Amino acid sequence: MAKHFYDRLSAMDNTFLVSEAPTTPMHVGAIEIFEDGPLRTEDGGIDIAKIRAAYMGVLHRIPRYRQKLQWIPFENRPVWVDDPHFNIDYHVRHVSLPRPGREAELRRVASRVLANHLDRRRPLWEIWVVEGLERDRFAIIAKTHHCMLDGSSGVEMAQILLSPSPEVEIAEPKPWFPRRAPTPLQLARDETWRRATLPLRAVRGFREFRAEAEDLGAEIRARATALRDFFGSSAKPSSDTPLNDALGPHRRFDWLTLALDDVKAVRKALDCTVNDVVLATVSHAFRGFLKGRQVAVDGITFRASTPVSTRADDERSQMGNRVSTWFVDLPLGEPDRRAQVAAIRAETRCLKESRQAMGMEMLMAAAEYAPSGILALGVGLASGPANTIVTNVPGPQFPLYMLGARMLAIIPKVPLLENIGLGIALMSYNGRVFFGFTADYDLVPDLDHFVALVAKSFAGLAAAAGVEISDSPEDGAASRPRLLPPVQVSGG
């Protein structure tokens, strides 16, 4: 009889399944906007058959895309197995906007698509090809469960599915035969053996750690400090705001684009990081947004959960998650723009020096050996008492193509966690920074107002830094104003 095959999910990957609930789907995603180019058909549509064929031609490079979940009996632990019923037509879907399709309609379609859960009985990804977007463009709405990838691995996957050259031929699909999945009894037996050998593997792991550590005592003290800081930061309470309440099942999605050169010029002028510029920009926007809702922002503790990549160079192009979390207190009570940046810069530098991100890594490493209850603890600590999510992923700084159709924009989507009504994801691509805003439908009915405040906030920060920002039109989203007139440099 042929040997069965499966891959066990890491504890970190499993956290995104454990934390999923009816009102908190845990998939990441993106809206990609393309020129129609050679994919345009005679009737003005998009050649979906070519796109499906292109995906089939690269699936051998992404085996996880043809795998589904199977659960170990009596355990809250899943494994990956090949899906013998994989069907590309289910995963690559085709819809159309009513012409002329404006970006307002695209945002509404994206909001509905991205709010729906992925079917756990199938491979956990979907692609929605949306034709009919005005100015000879189309869009792709991509959804992939967070248990499969993080932001960095998502960028790697995008460069497999797309091409850096407009000249590309559709590859012939390689023969694929699903491997035999284990029976529940076989999974239970394997898990029993795994648990029985855990002490031996733990001893072996400690020996390897001791051999690699240059100063064992110093490394142990550093890790103990990182774990203490992580637990301490996770336990700190944050203030209640109108953005933090029970979530509903529906979402709003919106976006904004800035020139990457503008962001880098502000970073240089203020002697900080790009991430500091982003956090300062959204801090002032949250300040104005909450003041508009009659929230006293002076003295408020408003915390951002900020994912931090821990992916090593030799882990590039691998699926799965290699990420930890920083909890950054945003200075909403500070009206001065330079002082805001200084406060954020001081906190992020302290977080780097304390190696706090290591604390989450250690907790997830322990979860590989411990009962599933510690995983639930890790989920709670990873979300922490945060008010919002802000994630920033660098993308390729050169154009990508889908079968010759140039990609104009890639707008990322972050999943919301329990009681967090607004999250922000950023990705840079080909000289631009794309903000993607995900919000609960009822908690944030005025998401467009918050997006406008972010644009004004960046303009004000640039003015405070003495940077003149560009006013070139957006390639991917020309129907939306990129920046509103600058706000006051300091003050409310």
Edge-to-edge strand list for the sheet holding 432-440: 251-259, 432-440, 422-429, 388-393, 302-309, 323-330
Is residue 202 over pLDDT 70?
Answer: no
> Considering the chain, what percentage of its residues have pLDDT values greater than 70?
78
Residue 352 included in any domain: yes
Residue 156 has a pLDDT of 76
Residue 168 has a pLDDT of 84
Residue 384 included in any domain: yes
Residue 223 included in any domain: no
CATH number at residue 277: 3.30.559.30
Residue 193's pLDDT band (cuts 50, 70, 90): confident
The residue type at 297: V
User: Exposed, middle or buried by CB within 10 Å (0-12, 13-18, 19+), for 415?
Assistant: buried
What does the pLDDT average to over 27-35?
Answer: 95
Select the more confidently predicted residue: 372 or 246: 246
Residue 158 has a pLDDT of 79
CA distance linking residue 482 with residue 180, whole number of Å: 52
Most confident of 142-151, 227-236, 328-337: 328-337
90 to 119, 124, 127, 175, 347: CA distances (angstroms): 11, 11, 9, 19, 46
Which of 90, 61, 79 is closest to 14 using CA atoms?
Answer: 79
Is residue 8 over pLDDT 60?
Answer: yes
CA distance linking residue 256 with residue 437, whole number of Å: 8
What does the pLDDT average to over 309-331?
Answer: 71
User: Exposed, middle or buried by CB within 10 Å (0-12, 13-18, 19+), for 230?
Assistant: buried
Q: Could you give phi then psi for residue 284, rounded to 5 degrees?
A: -70, -35
Select the more confidently predicted residue: 120 or 4: 120
CA distance linking residue 33 with residue 358, whole number of Å: 36
Which of 268, 287, 366 is closest to 333 using CA atoms?
Answer: 287
What does the pLDDT average to over 238-250?
Answer: 94
Residue 401 included in any domain: no
Q: Which residue, chain included where needed, has tokens 């250690």?
A: 362
Residue 287 included in any domain: yes
CA distance linking residue 479 with residue 33, whole number of Å: 13
Whether 82 and 178 have beta carbons less than 8 Å apart is answered as yes
Residue 147 included in any domain: no
Is residue 490 over pLDDT 90?
Answer: no
17 to 21, 71, 376: CA distances (angstroms): 9, 12, 11
Q: Which residue, chain included where needed, has tokens 């406008």?
A: 452
Q: Could you give phi then psi for residue 286, rounded to 5 degrees?
A: -65, -35
Residue 477 has a pLDDT of 43
pLDDT in tens, 428-484: 999 999 999 999 999 999 999 999 999 999 999 999 999 998 865 444 443 343 333
Whether 59 and 65 have beta carbons less than 8 Å apart is answered as yes
CA distance linking residue 354 with residue 408, whole number of Å: 39
- Structural domain including 345 reads 237-395+419-465
Q: What is residue 164's three-state secondary structure?
A: coil
> Considering the chain, what percentage of its residues have pLDDT values greater than 90?
62
Is residue 487 over pLDDT 50?
Answer: no
Residue 155 has a pLDDT of 76
CA distance linking residue 257 with residue 255, whole number of Å: 7
Is residue 221 over pLDDT 80?
Answer: no
What is the number of domains present in the chain?
1
What does the pLDDT average to over 410-436?
Answer: 95
Least confident of 247-251, 273-277, 357-361: 357-361
Q: Which residue, chain included where needed, has tokens 């200075």?
A: 331
Question: What would you report as the CA-atom Rg of the chain, rounded to the nearest whole angstrom?
Answer: 23
Q: Which residue, chain included where needed, has tokens 């064992």?
A: 216
What does the pLDDT average to over 265-286?
Answer: 96
pLDDT in tens, 69-123: 999 998 778 999 999 999 999 999 999 998 889 999 999 999 999 999 999 999 9
DSSP string, 70-120: EE-TTSS-EEEEE-TT--HHHHEEEEEEEEEE-HHHHHHHHHHHHHSPP-T
**Statement: the pTM of the whole predicted model exceeds 0.85:** yes
Contacts (Cβ under 8 Å, ≥6 apart) of 323:
12, 150, 151, 152, 307, 308, 309, 310, 311
Report the relative pairing of strands 405-413 and 27-35 from DSSP bridges.
antiparallel
Mean pLDDT of the chain: 85
What does the pLDDT average to over 241-257?
Answer: 96
CA dihedral 423, 333, 323, 158 (to 10 degrees): 40
Residue 370 has a pLDDT of 61
CA dihedral 392, 395, 35, 49 (to 10 degrees): -100
What does the pLDDT average to over 194-213?
Answer: 65
